[in-house]
């Protein structure tokens, strides 16, 4: 590849989680061969930043981490109001990449004051965030963002590929999938066998433990985390961290109306309740047992 793409990483209101997730990218040398990080707040100092800010150099990627606000009392960097910094850098960036759910939708910070704290183009599911409109924004939601989602999107753009986006401006390559796809508990979901407790191998976490894998867009169970596991594989529910409404309240409880959970994404209530009612009518002994029984 001839020329490296340049990146400025800017943090709004954040816990650093997306930065840490990114640093866990296992093929970092390969990433570094194609990209140059002009500034990252955990790697560089004020001097680097201020000289970049003052220059009029154009760059390829402005990566935003954290929720955004126009209110200078809420957020500033190096004694400069955050909105001044963001407006200057956004005007010089070819692409703006929101890394994580806070930059995409406002995330947990939005809950404090949704009027003032938002994502770049969204406030939850509503359009209109820090900006009302902007053509070059891509949301890569997640809490945190998966390093591969971020790097592979950057690489696609770097080599000039078109990145198809969904209605929330998320790359379809990642967010067309549901967390349910590839979940090892699918057979338990099919036959409506609940998990008794968190952390065990057996059972589905959808009915009691708050799992929203069937309605959350992400390929976690396809590419896994750190290449080895996922929340649902480890016996913890999917918390829906890639969705606009993250975080919901009572994450580890399934929200039900008259015992009836929300239906999987794109499945009608009539279809789902009919099928679930039928499946529940049978007791499948194999699925009631431990997967690995020490006594047999």
Partner 1 sequence: MDKKLRKSEKILDAALMLFSTRGFYATTIPDIAKAMGMSVGNMYNYFSSKEMLAKEIIKYSSDILGAEIRRVNEEEGNTKEKIRKIVAVYFEMASSKPQHINYFLRVYLANKEVFKDGCEGMLCVSSFVTELMIFFEEGVACGELRNQDFFSAFGLFMGYLGGFVFLSGEGVLEKDLNHYVDEIALNIYNALKH
Q: Which residues bind partner 1 (CB under 8 A)?
A: 256-260, 269-270, 273-274, 277-278, 280-282
Q: Identify which of 84, 118, 132, 133 has the alpha carbon closest to the alpha carbon of residue 13.
A: 118
Question: Residue 171 or residue 261: which is nearer to partner 1 going by CB?
Answer: 261
- Cβ–Cβ < 8 Å for 125, 132: no
- Give the separation between CA 147 and CA 229, rounded to whole angstroms: 14
- Cβ–Cβ < 8 Å for 125, 244: yes
- Give the separation between CA 103 and CA 136, rounded to whole angstroms: 14
Which tokens belong to 65?
Answer: 């981490």
Tell me the closest approach of the beta carbon of residue 273 to partner 1, in angstroms: 4
Tell me the closest approach of the beta carbon of residue 218 to partner 1, in angstroms: 26
User: Could you tell me whether strands 260-261 and 256-257 are parallel, antiparallel, or unpaired per DSSP bridges?
Assistant: antiparallel
Tell me the closest approach of the beta carbon of residue 281 to partner 1, in angstroms: 3
Question: Residue 125 or residue 280: which is nearer to partner 1 going by CB?
Answer: 280
Strand order in the sheet with 5-11: 35-39, 5-11, 59-65, 93-99, 137-140
Which tokens belong to 36?
Answer: 């140059």
Which tokens belong to 109?
Answer: 């910070």
Tell me the closest approach of the beta carbon of residue 190 to partner 1, in angstroms: 16
Question: Residue 257 or residue 295: which is nearer to partner 1 going by CB?
Answer: 257
Question: Residue 170 or residue 192: which is nearer to partner 1 going by CB?
Answer: 192
- Cβ–Cβ < 8 Å for 96, 64: yes
Tell me the closest approach of the beta carbon of residue 278 to partner 1, in angstroms: 6
Question: Residue 148 or residue 192: which is nearer to partner 1 going by CB?
Answer: 192
Q: Which residue has the tokens 């793409």?
A: 5
Tell me the closest approach of the beta carbon of residue 244 to partner 1, in angstroms: 19
Torsion angles phi and psi, residue 38, rounded to 5 = -70, -35
Question: Residue 54 or residue 282: which is nearer to partner 1 going by CB?
Answer: 282
Question: Residue 142 or residue 210: which is nearer to partner 1 going by CB?
Answer: 210
Count of other CB atoms within 10 angstroms of residue 205: 26
Tell me the closest approach of the beta carbon of residue 276 to partner 1, in angstroms: 9
């Amino acid at each position: 590849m001839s020329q490296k793409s340049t990146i400025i990483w800017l943090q709004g209101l954040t816990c650093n989680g997306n930065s840490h997730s990114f640093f866990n990218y296992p093929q970092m040398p390969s990433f570094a061969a194609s990209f140059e990080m002009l500034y990252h707040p955990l790697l560089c100092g004020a001097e680097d930043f201020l000289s970049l800010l003052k220059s009029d150099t154009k760059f390829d990627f402005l990566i935003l981490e954290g929720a955004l606000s126009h209110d200078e009392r809420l957020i500033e960097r190096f004694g400069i109001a955050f909105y001044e910094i963001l407006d200057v850098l956004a005007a010089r960036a070819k692409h703006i990449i929101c890394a994580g759910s806070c930059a995409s939708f406002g995330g947990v910070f939005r809950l404090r004051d949704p009027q003032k704290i938002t994502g770049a183009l969204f406030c939850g599911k509503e359009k209109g965030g820090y900006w009302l409109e902007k053509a070059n924004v891509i949301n890569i939601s997640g809490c945190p963002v998966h390093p591969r989602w971020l790097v592979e999107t950057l690489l696609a753009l770097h080599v000039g590929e078109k990145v198809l986006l969904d209605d929330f401006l998320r790359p379809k390559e990642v967010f067309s999938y549901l967390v349910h796809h590839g979940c090892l508990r699918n057979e338990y979901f099919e036959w409506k066998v609940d998990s008794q407790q968190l952390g065990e191998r057996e059972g589905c976490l959808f009915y009691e433990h708050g799992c929203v894998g069937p309605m959350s867009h992400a390929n976690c169970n396809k590419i896994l985390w750190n290449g080895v596991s996922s929340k649902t594989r480890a016996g913890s529910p999917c918390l829906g961290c890639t969705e606009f409404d993250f975080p919901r309240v009572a994450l580890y409880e399934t929200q039900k109306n008259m015992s009836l959970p929300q239906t999987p994404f794109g499945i009608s209530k009539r279809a789902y309740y009919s099928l679930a009612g039928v499946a529940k009518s049978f007791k499948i002994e194999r699925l009631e047992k431990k997967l690995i029984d020490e006594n047999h």
